[in-house]
Structure 1
Amino acid sequence: MNCTVLGCGRWGSFLASFHSRRGRVVLWGRSGSRSFETLRESRKNDYLTLPEAVVLEEDLGRALAASETVIISISAQQLRGFAARLNGHPIAGKTFILCMKGLEEETGKRLTQVMRESLTQPVGLAVWVGPGHVQDFLAGVPNCMVVDSDDRALTRRIVEQFQSELLRLYIGTDLIGTEIGAAAKNVMGIAAGLLDGKGLSSLKGALMARGAREIARLIRAMGGNELSAYGLCHLGDYEATLFSPHSHNRRFGEAVARGEQYTLLAEGVPTTQALVRLGEAHGVELPICETVYAILYRGVPAEEAFQRLFFRSAKEEFYV
């Protein structure tokens, strides 16, 4: 099973390493980037050593030509520009799998929407999301994830192709819900970190319940299945995001609450703004997302923002 992985960060390098057990994998990275140069010099990064079956490639055209199945694992906010670059190569008929989570900050659009708008050639397109950290997978700890697309046959083929004893894949049936849920869990991760940073970790149970509920309302308003919020894309990913020491989003929120700097990528930051815009556009209250937004974008102190959240008018628990 040959495939190409575009993006050599921790998730991209792990996927390339893991899938190379079944065949040749080409791992593309941008020449001059720290991640790619580190791998090129030593075939190692902070997490793993690349097997011999992984071929490092800096030429995008050669990387794309190597396989019919292409995994993309880059920052969500870079996707539109990167997709435009793909148009310069013969990619018609290939299958692209987005192993990334997020929404376009300026438009609130889902990543498959960004890809469809940007590509000028017909391709198969799917997302692969869910819980799991590279550190745990490398330690042999298995987890469950979900693959989704607007083509049921394509979804099944990807699941059958990549299913393994370490990664149990489920067949998704709600692309809208899967993408919104996966992106939104990063915002909940920031909220969890804010609670941790303020010594309010006992509230994370309530955050899980209320967070999933408000995202379910948004998914339904957007035409998806609200039950997706309680599946692997969102609620199923909470342990890895709200509690894990490996979670960049949780650690970012904790740093903000403590007035500290955090330099690693936290995809939940731009996603917070995108979700607030979607909530306004669809007339859906998103109190937790709006609280995180107030802290990150308006400079409202966490204590004040939390107080506003807690003193909202009383609601029925499962209000529409």
Structure 2
Amino acid sequence: MNISVLGCGRWGSCIAWYLDKIGNNVISCGLADAPEFIQLSTTHKNDYLTFPESIEVTSDLAKAVNHAEVIVISISSQHLRSYMQSIAQNNLDGKTIVLCMKGVEAATGQRLSQVVGDFVDEEKTPIAVWVGPGHPQDYVKGIPNCMVIDSKNHEIKEKLVNSFSSSLIRFYVGTDLIGSEIGAAAKNVIGIAAGMLDGFGYASLKGALMARGTREIARLIKALGGNEMSAYGLCHLGDYEATLFSKWSHNRSYGENYVKGIKFEKLAEGVMTSKALCKLGKENNVELPIVESVYSVLFDNVDPKDALGKLFMRSVKKEF
């Protein structure tokens, strides 16, 4: 299969490496002036992996789009709309777009598949999402994991699951696009909260954070029209180990560094996602205490220890 992976960051490069490894004809496409693209295009490797010669690296977006039967996009979620303006200048009919990124558009509260849907006719250009746990640092060592592919188009998600599955990644067919997207995005916000707990030496509270965080996001998914059980699947709870505990997690590291007063230089999608989820919570009358606490720290300058303290000392209520 001809596949183009748009985005040369940590996850985008891993996807390109993986899809080539299982036998596809892969182009990796990035922005010409981006440091990660420059590194890959000049050395064919980055801090995580080495590309085989079979992967072509280019900054020619039109070439990458025209090459592909399947276009995988893995970039910062808040830049998706502007990037789609460029992508949509090409003929996308008959192609499938797969979003391998986790976030919600902060300005609109739209899920990422909805953002892409503003630019394409989904009857001609189906949209799917690829979510779930895993880190490039583990995959390149041959450590397996499980992930989910979801879409409104049942035929497309079945085809992608069958085409992309291997002994390294076992894919499941998603059954709730709303839940898959919201759950995947929200786990990054919970990850920031977990990092803050680590920074204060309160790691033992992460069990409570996991239990309450999953319930909170389940309520939001249900209010948005999805299946609340999706929060307990691979898209959200199943991704907690990789996000709330792993040393590789950008969002956990961001939260830990934040409370220690250390600047974190890498992308933490949960920052802007906290803003988007607060917007959705208010619009749908859903209480999101963990999300709101993270938002209050990052955007309202609330002291993180006070915010977390209030979070775990809320009024007595039944657990379920």
Q: Give the TM-score of the pair, scaled to structure 2.
A: 0.97
Q: CA deviation at 1:307?
A: 2.2
Q: CA deviation at 1:99?
A: 0.4
Q: Over aligned residues, Cα RMSD in angstroms? A: 1.0
Name 1:100's counterpart in structure 2: 101
Distance, in Å, in 2 between the alignment partners of 1:173 and 1:92 is 25
Name 1:225's counterpart in structure 2: 227
2:265 aligned to which of 263, 266, 271: 263
Distance, in Å, in 1 between the alignment partners of 2:312 and 2:194 is 15
Name 1:69's counterpart in structure 2: 70
Q: CA deviation at 1:119?
A: 3.2
Q: CA deviation at 1:120?
A: 6.1
Conserved? CA contact 2:41–2:58, under 8 Å:
no
Name 2:117's counterpart in structure 1: 116
Name 1:160's counterpart in structure 2: 162
Q: Tell me the secondary structure at the aligned position of residue 64 of structure 2.
A: helix
Name 2:285's counterpart in structure 1: 283
Deviates more, 1:296-305 or 1:266-275: 296-305
Q: Supply the AA of the counterpart residue of 1:77.
A: Q
Q: Supply the AA of the counterpart residue of 1:139.
A: K
Distance, in Å, in 2 between the alignment partners of 1:29 and 1:82 is 11
Distance, in Å, in 1 between the alignment partners of 2:70 and 2:118 is 20
Distance, in Å, in 2 between the alignment partners of 1:166 and 1:311 is 42
Conserved? CA contact 2:185–2:273, under 8 Å:
yes
5+ unaligned residues in a row in structure 1: which ranges?
none
Q: Percent identity?
A: 54
Name 1:41's counterpart in structure 2: 42
Conserved? CA contact 1:87–1:120, under 8 Å:
no
Q: Tell me the secondary structure at the aligned position of residue 4 of structure 1.
A: strand
Distance, in Å, in 2 between the alignment partners of 1:151 and 1:17 is 26
Deviates more, 1:138-147 or 1:110-119: 110-119
Conserved? CA contact 1:130–1:232, under 8 Å:
yes
Q: Give the TM-score of the pair, scaled to structure 1.
A: 0.97
5+ unaligned residues in a row in structure 2: which ranges?
none
Distance, in Å, in 1 between the alignment partners of 2:69 and 2:118 is 21
2:79 maps to 1:78: yes
Deviates more, 1:9-18 or 1:247-256: 9-18
Distance, in Å, in 2 between the alignment partners of 1:191 and 1:304 is 13
Q: Tell me the secondary structure at the aligned position of residue 118 of structure 2.
A: helix
2:255 maps to 1:253: yes
Name 1:8's counterpart in structure 2: 8
Distance, in Å, in 2 between the alignment partners of 1:57 and 1:74 is 16
Distance, in Å, in 1 between the alignment partners of 2:167 and 2:121 is 37
Name 1:236's counterpart in structure 2: 238
Q: Tell me the secondary structure at the aligned position of residue 36 of structure 1.
A: helix
| Count, aligned residues | 318
Q: CA deviation at 1:311?
A: 2.7
- Alpha-carbon displacement from aligned partner over 1:276-315 (angstroms, at most 9, x marks no partner): 1111111110000111111111111111112221232222
Conserved? CA contact 1:242–1:250, under 8 Å:
yes
- Alpha-carbon displacement from aligned partner over 1:130-180 (angstroms, at most 9, x marks no partner): 000000101111000000001111110100110111000000010000000
Distance, in Å, in 2 between the alignment partners of 1:3 and 1:118 is 20
2:174 maps to 1:172: yes
> Equivalent residues in 2 for 1:184-203 (5 A)?
184-203=186-205
Q: CA deviation at 1:123?
A: 0.7
